[in-house]
Chains A and B, each alone.
Chain A
Amino acid sequence: MSAAEVQLGVVLLCHDRLDLAARMARIWAEGGAPVVVHVDARVAACDHEAMVQALKDQPLVQFSPRRACNWGRFDLVQATQEASRQLLDQQPAVSHVYLASGSCLPLRPVAELTDYLRCHPGRDHIESVAVEDALWAMGGLNEERFTRYFPFDWRHQRWRFDRFLDLQRWLGIQRRLPAGLVPHLGSQWWCLTRHTLDAILSDPDRAAHDRFFRLAWIPDEGYFQTLARKHSPEIESRSLTLARFDLKGKPYLLYDDHRQLLEASGAFVARKVWPGATGLMDHFPKASAAGTSGRHPDPRGIDQLFAQAAERRARGRPGLRSQGRFPNKGSENQRTAAPYALFQGFDAVIPGFEDWLAGQLDADVHGHLFHPDRAEFAGRPDVGPGALSSNPTLRDYHPEAFLASLIRSGSRMQVFQHGPGDDPGPNWFIAGDANARLSVLTGAWVVPLFRAALPLVEVRRTAALLQRAEIEQTAILTSPSTRAQVQTWDLADFVARPEAILAEALGQVDPVISRSQRPLPPIPDLSGLGDFLQRLRNAGLRPALTGSFPPTDASTEEGPTP
C-alpha cells in the first residue's frame, strides 16, 4: 500500500444529544473524512430529522439504517457492521475506518490523524487484550463474557440476568468459541484498515461469529477485538480514543477545565465530553504547534488526574472524617493523618520537660492536651491549631475528633504530654492507632505528690486515684487490639538510667535526632522517694507501677521537707 492512499472514514454511533453529534460529524466531514452516522432507533424522529437537516450541506455525511441499540447487547455491533459496510461500499477511497461516538471529540485535526496513520498504513489500532490476562471492569465478568449465555438485558432485566448466570454456573455450562477465535477484550473505539474490516465483515464464518456473539456479554468490547486477532496482519493494541472509566465502569466526563491536559495529551480523539462543555468544543480540534504535528499521543497528565480521583473515591485520605467520608470500623485506612507522639510521666519527673523537648524535636510540642482544666496547646493560647478550642467541655465532647483534627491541621509532627490525671476519653482511640508513638513512664505521678506539701491522707487518696487510672490505661495499651508503638519504663528504671531512656524515647519519635548530641535536661534528685513510698504502703496503698525503690536509711527517714 503506498503512502498516498491513506484516507480516513468515520463510523459515528449516536444515541442521544444529536445536536452535539451533528457538531462532531461536521468536524470529521470538514476535515475531509467521509462519515456514516448511525442513530439509535429509540431517538425521537424529530431529533433525527433535525440532525439530517443540520448536516444537509455536508455531502460526506451519510446515514445508515436505524436500529434500536441496548447497552451491552449485540445490537450495537450490528449497527457498527452495517454502517461500516455502507462506508466501505460507498467510499472506495477509504483506507481506514475510525469508530467514534457522538460524544467523542476530535482533539487534533483530521489531517494530523491521517498523517499519523500514514506512518504505518497497514496497522490496525485496536486495543485487544487476551481475556485470561485482562482485568476488565464490571464486577469481574471477564472470561465468563464468552463462556456463558446472556440472553437478558443487564439494565432492564437485572434479576433474570443474575439468576440465569447463577444457574449456568451451577450447571457448569461452558460455551465453546467458534473455531479459530481466541477471546480478546478492549476499548470499543478502534481504527481498522479497510483490509482488516473487510475481512471481518466478509468472513465466510461470519454467521457463526455473529451467532456466538449475539449471546455474549458486552460484545462491542469483544467482537472486533477478537476478530481483528484473526484477520489483522499488524495490531497496535492501543485505542486512539482517550476514554477512561472509573471503578464502577462509568466513563469519566470531560469538562472545559480539562482543556490544557487534553491538549498536552496529544490524543487524537477523547471522550466522553459533557454536553455543556462548550469551551472544549469551541477549542478543539486544535492543530499542534508548528513542528509537533507528528507527535504521538501521551496521555500521562490526564491519566494521573483520573487515577487520583479513583484513588480518592476508593481509599480516601487517611485520618479524615468528613461529610463525604465516614468509614466503618476496619475501613479507616489509619485513624489519623500522620504520626504523632505522647510522652507520659516525663514532665512529672523532669521540670521544664515540655520546653526542653520542644528544643529537641522539629515538632509542635504541646502540654497536656487532655488536661481536665484546659487543652494545653503549645504556648497556651485559648484557641489552638485548626481553631480548636482549649475549652475542656468542648474537647471532651468528642476527644477523638479533637485529636484527629489537630493532627490533620498541623504542618509538623504533633507531640503532647499525657498522664493518668488527664481525660481518659481518647485512650482507646490512641492505643488502636498505628500512628501513635507512646513513651510511658509508669508511676511517675508519684513524684509531684512526693514534692508537694500535702497531708498524707490527701496524698494517699490522690495516689490511689492516679494509680487506678494508670493501671486501666496500661491495660488498654497492652490489649491485643493495640496498634500504637508503645515503650514503657517504670520510674525506678528511669532513675537508674535517665539518659538511656530519654534517648530511647526520643529515638522512637525521631530516629535521626536520637543519634545526635544534646544537653540533658536537669534531672532532679529523688532521694527520699523510697521512704515516701514506704509511708504510702504503711498508709495502706501499694504502689504498683513505680518499680522498686528500697526504703532509705534512717538519715532521710523524715522524708521530704515541706
Chain B
Amino acid sequence: MAPSPVSSAFRTTYDRLKRRGERQYALMRALRRGRRLRALEDRSRQIAPADILVFTTLRNERPRLPYFLDYYRRMGVGHFLMVDNDSQDGSADYLALQPDVSVWRTSDSYKASRFGMDWINDLLRRYGSGHWCLTVDPDEFLIYPHHDTRPLRALTDWLDASGARSFPAMLLDTYPRGPIEHAICAEGQDPLDLANWFDPANYTIRKNSYYGNLWIQGGPRARCFFADSPKNSPALNKIPLVKWHWRQAYVSSTHTLLPRGLNMVYAQDGGEMASGCLLHAKFLSSLTQKSAEELDRRQHYAGSKEYRAYHARLGESSSLWCEESRQFTDWRQLVDMGLISPGNWA
C-alpha cells in the first residue's frame, strides 16, 4: 500500500533535514581535522581562477607519483593538492619539489579522519570553491569519452554549458594477465602497461534513494574475494569530478556527495548521461606487501575486510585473470560495453 501523502511529505522533509545535518557534520569535521594538516609546501597562491585541481591522499606511494602527476598534467590539470599521511618512503619530499604541487602532511589516523575524507573535504573547502575538482587516489586514472582528443577542460566546459555540476566515473579494477606479484611496476612506468585487463560485464547497480546515488559493485574483487559475501564487496561508483562550492562535502569516500543533487548523475528517463571511469591499477606486485602492512595498521574500511580478503587470497600466488577478461584498448571499447557513455557529448 502506498504511504499517505502526509507521512511521505513528513518523510521527505525529515530526510532532507537529516542530510543537511550530515553535510554540516562533515564540514565541521573537515574544519577540525583540517587544522591538523601541516603545510609542507603551499603553492596554492599559484592557482589561477579557471584551473582544474586534483586532490589526493596518499601513503607510501613514491614509485607511483611521477607517472600519476604526468598523467593528469597531460590532461590539463592546473594544480595538485595532496595530503601525505605519514609516508616513510620520501613521497612528501618528492611532492614538495614539484612546481605545481601543494603538499600537506599529517600523522593522524587515516581511519579517524574517515579514510582521509576529512582532510580532502577541508582542502576542497579552502581551495576548491569555484573550480572543477578531481579527487583521485594515486592508483586511479581517469578515462572519459574523447579523452584522447579533448583535454579535461573541454569536458568541464561542456559540463558547465550543460548545467552539470558533477561527473561520474566508476572504478574499473584492472589487473595483469599473470600473477599479481610478477607485475612489478618501475618508477615512472605506466601501471596500465602491466595491469590492463578488466572484467567487462559483471557489475550490479542499485539505487540509494536516500542519497540519490547509484551503488555499483562487481568486477574482479567481487568475483574472486567476495563471491560468498557479495554484500561486502567494495563499492565501485564514484563521482570524482565536481564543480566545487564550499557548502558541498563528500560524505563517504568519493562515492557519495551532499547536497544530494550532485549524486544524480544518471538519467532516469531511459536515456544515457555522459560518464567516464577510473582505471584502478591497484593489482600490482606492490599490493602484496601493502596488504600485509595495511592489515597490521587496521586503518581501512569495515575492519579492513578488503585487505584481509586480499591477504588470504594473495598469500598463495594468485591471479585475477580469467578467460573472459578483456584487455583494455581505448575508451570506445568501454563505450561499446556500456561501461561508460558519451551521452549527449558528440
Contact = CB atoms under 8 A, between A and B. Distances in A.
A393 B225 CA distance: 13
Given A257-B149, A323-B275, A274 B322 contact: no
Interface stretch (A34-42, A302-310, A470-478): A302-310
B40 to A, nearest CB: 33
Given A256-B150, A276-B151, A326-B266, A398 B161 contact: no
Interface string A243-283: 00011101011011100000000000000001111000000
Nearest to B277: A323
Contact of A408 (B201, B223, B324, B342): B201
A388 interface: yes
Contact of A325 (B204, B267, B337, B342): B267
A384 B202 CA distance: 10
B316 interface: no
Nearest to B146: A257
Interface string B69-84: 0000000000000000
A388 B154 contact: no
Given A253-B158, A324-B265, A333 B275 contact: no
Interface in B265-287: 265-275
A257 B339 CA distance: 22
Top-10 shortest CB links A-B: A386-B201, A309-B346, A313-B344, A331-B270, A324-B275, A398-B204, A397-B230, A387-B199, A257-B149, A391-B227
B153 interface: yes
B257 to A, nearest CB: 14
A381 interface: yes
B222 interface: yes
Contact of A323 (B149, B161, B265, B322): B265
Given A313-B267, A387-B201, A389-B227, 6 more contacts: A255-B149, A310-B344, A322-B272, A325-B267, A326-B207, A394-B222
Interface residues on A, range: 35 or more
Contacts of A239: none
B26 interface: no
Nearest to B150: A255
Interface string A204-232: 00000000000000000000000000000
Contacts of A422: none
Nearest to A405: B201
Contacts of B158: 253, 274
B271 A312 contact: yes
A243 B346 CA distance: 13
B205 A331 contact: no
A253 B227 contact: no
A316 B342 CA distance: 11
Interface string A309-340: 11011111100111111111001110000000
B178 interface: no
B136 interface: no
A387 B346 contact: no
B154 A274 contact: yes
Interface residues of B, number: 60
A401 interface: yes
A328 B344 contact: no
Contacts of A402: 204
Nearest to A304: B346
B338 A408 contact: yes
A331 B266 CA distance: 13
B272 A324 contact: yes
7 contacts: A247-B344, A253-B161, A308-B346, A309-B346, A323-B216, A389-B202, A393-B229
A202 interface: no
A138 B204 CA distance: 36
Nearest to A306: B346
A386 B324 contact: yes
Residues of B contacting A: mostly: loop
Interface of A: 246-248, 250, 252-253, 255-257, 274-277, 305-306, 308-310, 312-317, 320-328, 331-333, 381-389, 391, 393-394, 397-398, 401-402, 405-406, 408-409
A394 B207 CA distance: 18
Interface of B: 146, 149-151, 153-154, 157-158, 161-162, 168-170, 199-207, 214, 216, 220, 222-223, 226-231, 237, 265-275, 322-326, 337-346
A386 B150 contact: no
B199 A324 contact: no
A323 B170 contact: yes
Contacts of B170: 323
A281 to B, nearest CB: 14
B268 A323 contact: no
B223 A383 contact: yes
Contacts of A246: 344
Contact of B341 (A310, A324, A401): A324
A238 to B, nearest CB: 21
A333 B339 CA distance: 18
B342 A386 contact: no
A326 B272 CA distance: 8
B64 to A, nearest CB: 25
Given A250-B161, A326-B268, A401 B344 contact: no
A326 to B, nearest CB: 5
B342 to A, nearest CB: 7
Contact of A397 (B204, B267, B275, B337): B204
B344 A325 contact: no
Nearest to B237: A323
B269 A327 contact: yes
Given A308-B346, A331-B269, A385-B324, A322 B200 contact: no
A62 B337 CA distance: 53
A397 B228 CA distance: 10
B346 to A, nearest CB: 4
B154 A405 contact: no
Nearest to B344: A313
Contact of B214 (A257, A306, A323): A323
A440 to B, nearest CB: 28
Contact of B271 (A250, A256, A314): A314
A252 B151 contact: no
A312 B270 contact: no
B154 A276 contact: yes
A427 to B, nearest CB: 18
B172 to A, nearest CB: 11
Nearest to B223: A389
Contacts of A306: 346
A410 to B, nearest CB: 10
The listed residue with most A CB atoms (<10 A of its CB), out of B199, B202, B220, is: B202
B157 A315 contact: no
Contacts of B200: 386-387, 409
Nearest to A401: B204
A387 B271 contact: no
Given A255-B150, A309-B344, A391-B228, A323 B204 contact: no
Nearest to B345: A309
Contacts of B271: 312-316, 325
Nearest to B339: A322
A324 B339 CA distance: 9
Contact of A326 (B162, B227, B267): B267
Nearest to B230: A397
